[in-house]
Structure 1
Amino acid sequence: MTQNIYDLANELDRSIRLLPEYKAVEEAKLAIEGDAEAKLIFQDYLAFQTELQGLMQAGQMPSPDVQNRMEEISKKVQENSLLAVYFAKQQQLSIYMADLEKIIFSPLRDLL
């Protein structure tokens, strides 16, 4: 009996959300949302990341001004304990996600 691939994907979604690493990232994000300073720094970080992605997609290198802003935002992120915890927990979760990506895309690699 074959399972519906969408059922499997939804089951994987639910399983990921039950991982302790996922829950740790979720809790760290809630802590950020509850702290005005951390929340503002995080929003600035996300907006800046979007700006950088736009530059890269356009094939542009970051100007010295953009590089300075990158350093300033990175410093603020590193100095905020809530953000440091969030990114550390996110890194732990990304190990699972990278492993899952390898498994899921294995059939496509076989076709190349």
Structure 2
Amino acid sequence: MANVYDIANELERAIRVLPEYQAAVTAKSAVEADSEAKELWEQFLQAQKKFQTMMQSGQAPSQEEQEELTVLGQKIEENPVLKAYLEQQQRLSVYIADIEKIVYAPLRDLQ
């Protein structure tokens, strides 16, 4: 029987050579090279992290905080570099979701 860790490592390497993964890497490099896109992305990640932390601790974000995240999301949609990056991430996430279903099937059987 094959070692499950070896199989997992092989899967990781296979994901890295997918055209969708490579496109996401290229799109991320474009974000890193564009100072406006990079700054906007960092602001979004910080706001998102704050929002998630509040939700996990049982706190409701204020209307102002929710609006801030919405405005940042809109700015990201308007930025072609970030929009392309998110589109590439979405394409890759289809594979990841399918793989998750397969990997977690044995655990679902135990419920």
- Classify the TM-score, shorter chain: over 0.9
Return the offset for 1:5: 0.7
Partner of 1:32: 31
Instruction: State TM-score, norm by structure 1.
Output: 0.96
TM-superposition CA deviations, 1:12-65 (whole Å, max 9, x none): 000000111111111000000001000000111111111111011012222111
Q: Does the CA-based 8 Å contact 2:48-2:69 persist in structure 1?
A: no
Q: Distance in 2 between matches of 1:32 and 1:97?
A: 22
Q: Distance in 2 between matches of 1:48 and 1:20?
A: 30
Partner of 1:54: 53
Structure 1 counterpart SS, 2:61: coil
What code does the residue aligned with 1:11 have? Answer: E
Q: CA RMSD in A?
A: 0.8
1:72 is the counterpart of 2:71: yes
| Between 55-64 and 9-18, the greater mean CA deviation after superposition | 55-64
Return the offset for 1:76: 1.2
Partner of 2:108: 109
Q: Distance in 1 between matches of 2:45 and 2:26?
A: 18
Q: Distance in 2 between matches of 1:61 and 1:33?
A: 32
What code does the residue aligned with 1:68 have? Answer: E
Instruction: State TM-score, norm by structure 2.
Output: 0.96
What code does the residue aligned with 1:62 have? Answer: P
Q: Distance in 2 between matches of 1:54 and 1:8?
A: 34
Partner of 1:3: 2
Aligned sequence identity (%): 48
- Structure 1 unaligned regions, length at least 5: none
- Structure 2 unaligned regions, length at least 5: none
